[in-house]
Amino acid sequence: MQQQMRDPTEKGNGRGGQKELEEQVLRAGLCTGCGACVNLCPYQAIHHDRTVTLHACDLAQGRCYTCCPRTPADLDDLRRKLYEEMDCTPELGAVKGFFVARAADEGVRRGAQHGGTVTTLVTLALREGLIDAAVLAGEGEGLLPHSVTITDAEVAAKMGKSRFVVSPTVAEFNRICRGDAAKIGVVATPCQALALAKMRTQPVSEVENGIEKLHLVVGLFCGWALSWQKLAALLKAKTELDQVTGMDIPPSRYHTLEVYTRGETIRVSLDEVNPCVREACHSCDDMTAEFSDLSVGSARLPEGWEASRSWNQVIVRTQRGMDLLELARHRGVLEFREPSRGNLEKLKAASLGKKKAAAGRSYAQRDSVERTGQAG
C-alpha cells in the first residue's frame, strides 16, 4: 500500500477486471479474503476463507477489481473524501478522539472478547434505529467463522468474540445490499473497511450497488488473520476443533496464542502460529482499520494484561462515530476511563511498526519467488 500511495495511477489507473484481479491479487498471494469481489457477480466465490474464481469474466473493468482493498488506489483521495483533513494523522489515519472504554454491562463483557465495546455499540445502533442490519463475523464450524447479518439487537449482543480467521464480511454486505435493509452497519477488519471505503468513493458501473445503504463501519484492530487450513491443521494436532471456545493473544512479551477449550487453556507459541498467518497479511499496513467510523481494539493498561482484558481502546474517526460513542455514554451502556499517559503514542508507534514491516515486505516481495498461489 505504500507503493499505492506513491503512485495511484500505476497499473491501469486503478481500473481492471477479473484478469487483473487474478494476476495482481489472487495469484500474487495478496487476497485478504474480505469478500469485496464476491456476490457482485457469479464469477467469484468464497470457499472456506479463500476467494476463488468460478468462471472467466472478460470484462475490461469490474467492481471486483476496483473494490478490492489490494488493488491500487489513491488513499489520500479516499481520506479527503471521507474524513476531515485536520483529523488525519500519518500513523493512525483520522483521529477525532481516543478513548478507553468498556461495556457497562458485565454480562456483555463476559460474552465478548475484551471490553465488549463493539458488541455494545452495534447493539445500541440497532436498538436506536441508527442501523437496521449489522453484518458481523459469526461463529461457524471448525474455527471457520461465517459472516452473518443480524437485525435483532439481542442476538447481536451475544456475538462478541474475536475471530482469528477472516470471514467474507464484505460479500455478505454485497448480498444484503440487494435486500430490504435500508441502513446497514458493518463490523470490519482493516481490509474490509478499506474495501467499503473504495466502494463509497469509486463508482464503477451504472449497476446499482447499494453502497448508500452503508451507515456505519465499526473497525477492528488487526495484526493479522490466520489461514483457516493451516490453523485447523495446527490445532487438530493439539485438540478437537469443536472443543475450542475462543482464542486470544496476550501482549507481545508472552509470545503466545491462547486457545480456550472446554477443558483447559492451550498455549501455542507464536513461532508455531506465525507460519499460519495469511500471506496477504504480511503486506498489510493498516493495524487500526483507518477507513472506519470508529475503530476498536484491545487495551494496554499499566495494571497489566489481566486488567487490560476487560477494556478496549477506541479511535473515533468521523462525526457519525463520535455521535454513536456519545450516545453510548449518554445511555450509560459504555463506561470510560482516562487513557494512561503515552497510550496513544504507543499505539501510533505500533501502527507505524506495521506500516514499516509492510513496506519492507513489499520491497522484498518484488524479488521474492516465494508464493503460495492463491490467498492461502
Partner 1 sequence: MALDREQKEGAEVLLMGNEAIARGALEAGVRVAAGYPGTPSSEIIETLSRFSEAGKLYVEWSTNEKVAMEVAAAASFAGLRSLCVMKQNGVNVASDFLLHLAGSGTRGGMILVTCDDPGALSSVNEGESRHFARLMEIPLIEPADFQEAKEMTRWAFDLSEQIRNVVMVRSVTRMSHASGNIVLGTLPALKGKAEFLCDGPVSDPERGPVISAPVIAKHRLQQEKLRKATALFEESPFNAYSGPEKPELLIITSSACTLYSREAVSLLRAEGRAGILKLGTTWPLPPALLKRHLRRTQKVLIVEEVLPFLEDQVKILAAEQAREIGIKTFYGKNDGALPTVGELNPDLVAAAVGRILGIDPPAIPAEYGDKLRRLTEFLPKRDQTFCPGCPHRASYWGIREALQRDNRGGFVCGDIGCYAMAVLFQAAGFHTAKTLHAMGSGAGIASGFGKLGPFGMTQPVLAVCGDSTFYHAAIPALINAVHQRADITFIVLDNSGTAMTGFQSHPGLDVNAMGEAAPMVDIAALCGAMGVPVTIGDPFELIETRETLNRLLEEPGVKVLILKQSCALSPEKKGKKRFLVRVDDTLCRGEACGCNRLCTRIFRCPGLLWNRERKRAEIDEVICAGCGFCAGICPAGAIRSEEAAKP
The one-letter amino acid code at 304 reads G
With binding defined as CB under 8 A, does residue 57 bind partner 1?
A: yes
Tally the residues of the chain: 376
The interface mask with partner 1, positions 335-374, x = CB under 8 A, is ---------------------------------------x
Alpha helices in 147-246 (DSSP H): 153-156, 169-177, 190-201, 228-236
CA 72 to chain centre: 19
**In terms of CB distance, is 22 or 290 closer to partner 1?**
22
With binding defined as CB under 8 A, does residue 241 bind partner 1?
A: no
DSSP secondary structure of 9-59: THHHHT---HHHHIIIIITTT------TTSSSSSSEEEETTEEEE-S----
DSSP state of 282: G
Size of the site for partner 1 (CB under 8 A): 24
d(CA 164, CA 175): 23
Q: Name the minimum Å distance from CB 18 to partner 1.
A: 9
Q: Could you say which of 10, 13, 23, 55 contacts partner 1 (CB under 8 A)?
A: 55
The one-letter amino acid code at 350 reads A
**In terms of CB distance, is 45 or 247 closer to partner 1?**
45
With binding defined as CB under 8 A, does residue 58 bind partner 1?
A: yes
Contacts (CB under 8 A) with partner 1, residues 59-98: 59, 61-64
Q: Name the minimum Å distance from CB 31 to partner 1.
A: 11
**Quick one: which segment of 48-56, 79-87, 153-161, 364-372 binds partner 1 (CB under 8 A)?**
48-56
Q: Could you say which of 47, 253, 330, 341 contacts partner 1 (CB under 8 A)?
A: 47
**Distant-in-sequence, close-in-space partners of 354: CB < 8 Å, separation ≥ 6:** 223, 284, 285, 286, 287
| 345 three-class SS | helix
Q: Name the minimum Å distance from CB 141 to partner 1.
A: 12
Helices (H) and strands (E) in the chain, counts: 15, 15
CA dihedral 353, 372, 55, 67 (to 10 degrees): 10
With binding defined as CB under 8 A, does residue 216 bind partner 1?
A: no
The end-to-end CA distance of the chain, in Å, is: 20
DSSP secondary structure of 123-160: HHHHHTTS-SEEEEEEEEETTEEEEEEE--HHHHTT--
Q: Could you say which of 206, 303, 306, 370 contacts partner 1 (CB under 8 A)?
A: 206
Q: Name the minimum Å distance from CB 55 to partner 1.
A: 5
**Quick one: which segment of 43-51, 254-262, 279-287, 357-365 binds partner 1 (CB under 8 A)?**
43-51
Strand partners of residue 344 = none
With binding defined as CB under 8 A, does residue 205 bind partner 1?
A: yes
Q: Could you say which of 54, 182, 233, 270 contacts partner 1 (CB under 8 A)?
A: 54
3-state secondary structure 56-91: CCCCCCCHHHHHCCCCCCCHHHHHHHHCCHHHEECC
**In terms of CB distance, is 56 or 86 closer to partner 1?**
56
With binding defined as CB under 8 A, does residue 56 bind partner 1?
A: yes
**Quick one: which segment of 35-43, 219-227, 255-263, 303-311 binds partner 1 (CB under 8 A)?**
35-43
With binding defined as CB under 8 A, does residue 204 bind partner 1?
A: yes
**In terms of CB distance, is 252 or 372 closer to partner 1?**
372
The interface mask with partner 1, positions 118-157, x = CB under 8 A, is ----------------------------------------
The 10 Å CB-count burial string (b at 16+, else e) for 276-310 is bbbbbbbbbbbbbbbbbbbbbbbbbbeeeeeebbb
**In terms of CB distance, is 43 or 99 closer to partner 1?**
43
With binding defined as CB under 8 A, does residue 40 bind partner 1?
A: yes
**In terms of CB distance, is 29 or 321 closer to partner 1?**
29
Question: Residue numbers of the site for partner 1 (CB under 8 A)?
Answer: 40-43, 45, 47, 50, 52-59, 61-64, 204-207, 374
